[in-house]
Copies of this chain bind each other. A is one copy, B any other.
Amino acid sequence: MAAEILCIGTELLLGNITNGNARWLAEQLAVLGVPHHRQLVVGDNRERLIAEVQAAAERCRVLITTGGLGPTPDDLTTEALAAAFATPLVEHPQVWADIQTRLEARGRPCAASNRRQAWLPEGAALLPNPTGTAPGMIWSPRPGFTILTFPGVPSEMRAMWEATAAPWLQAAGLAEGVFASRMLRFWGVAESNLAEQMADLLAGSNPTVAPYAGAGEVKLRITARAADRAAAEALLAPVEAEIRARAGAACFGADDDSLAAVVLALLRRRGQTLAVAESCTGGGLGAALAAVPGASDVWLGGVIAYANSVKQGLLGVPAAALAGHGAVSDPVAQAMAEGARRATGADWALAITGVAGPVGGSAEKPVGLVHLAVAGPDGCSSEGVRFGASRGRSWIQTLAAGEALNRLRLRLLQA
């Protein structure tokens, strides 16, 4: 095992904060091609810290720590690391001078406790902190085992990583080649079915293919390793092409693409505009479109027709359709979509009306039943979909919005 991550902080154990540092460091290690198989979180506890560091020294070549470098009594990373390898701490006068200069520049008093931050284990090299007071260190307490320490403040950790640690790791020869990866995104297919369809590819070792399931969306990550980036991309490309060929239109995009962004791009290419008419999603479909920067050249807006009076008043849904079929029905979904086109002048409109629950369902129209309509220059189509009640209101709303976007996407691909 080449590298391990050790995040130190009682606030992580109490669930006060999310461990975004571990995710960021993991991604950086992957980009550098440094294998890493373990992330550990412990609290601000000297004895446990000593035990964990000693255990890590038996397993890995590089230990990356975050947290515990500040001036307060519960910041004990440096001291515990020194104790773990029975090494004395020595003061670095230049570091202490730097800390004083920086605090003075910010108009902060320089507390005696800040002086602790200038002490490092004998033999440790400084890992400079360009944006904060607490420096880290690069220290090999034993041959073949090196510790890199970072503060817990994400911006300081990142700046130190980029300036000093990443180049050090590259030079240290820990990388097993270079990685390239692609995340393919799917809608309208279950994770288990996609996995069966791609079973042979999922069994591959280079590239590896791994499935992820989200709310309605399923993803496959392809990761290839090679001596350089071009070679890794060359390994990745045929697998990506094969997955796309097998999945067909179910694959809607890659990497940072969202369904909303893909639909907006398809419409932009045609010079056409879009509106929405939302009942049970209450604005969730609009919010998904508004999450895409630059949506405004395609997406005009629409109507949140939560109450039937708004369906009638702003969308012109006929009272007879509401009375005869109920608000959750194909005739109402179609009238909502056509009404949104008419009210906004958009080329296309999506309408959603359903039973999001938890109450309001019936035997005929259970919680999770949603009618979706797509209206466009070539007419209007609609369909009832059952998302099931078991996952709850928010899940039904998210799936309904995604499903509406996907129906428009498929219709635009066919047209």
Task: Specify which of B41, B303, B356 is in contact with A303 (CB 8 Å cutoff).
Answer: B303
Cβ contact within 8 Å between A196 and B131? no
Considering only residues 10-24 of chain A, those with a C-beta below 8 Å from chain B are: 10-20, 22-24
Output the least CB separation between A199 and chain B (Å). 8
Q: Which residues of B contact A13 (CB under 8 A)?
A: 26, 30, 36-39
Task: Specify which of B22, B43, B191 is in contact with A72 (CB 8 Å cutoff).
Answer: B191
Query: Is the C-beta of A301 less than 8 angstroms from some C-beta in chain B?
Result: yes
Interface string of A308-321 (1 = CB under 8 A from B): 01100110000000
Cβ contact within 8 Å between B344 and A313? yes
Interface of A is mostly: mixed
Q: Which residues of B contact A307 (CB under 8 A)?
A: 296, 299-301, 344
Q: Which residues of B contact A190 (CB under 8 A)?
A: 103, 108-109, 111
Cβ contact within 8 Å between B72 and A211? yes
> In the complex, which residue of chain B has the Cβ closest to the Cβ of A44?
B210
Query: Is the C-beta of A324 less than 8 angstroms from some C-beta in chain B?
Result: no
Task: Specify which of B275, B280, B290, B397 is in contact with A284 (CB 8 Å cutoff).
Answer: B290
Output the least CB separation between A63 and chain B (Å). 14
Q: Which residues of B contact A131 (CB under 8 A)?
A: 390-392, 395
Cβ contact within 8 Å between B287 and A14? no
Cβ contact within 8 Å between B37 and A43? yes
Output the least CB separation between A103 and chain B (Å). 8
Extra pairs beyond A275-B310, A276-B283 (8, CB < 8 Å): A13-B36, A70-B211, A130-B390, A155-B395, A276-B304, A282-B290, A283-B286, A310-B343
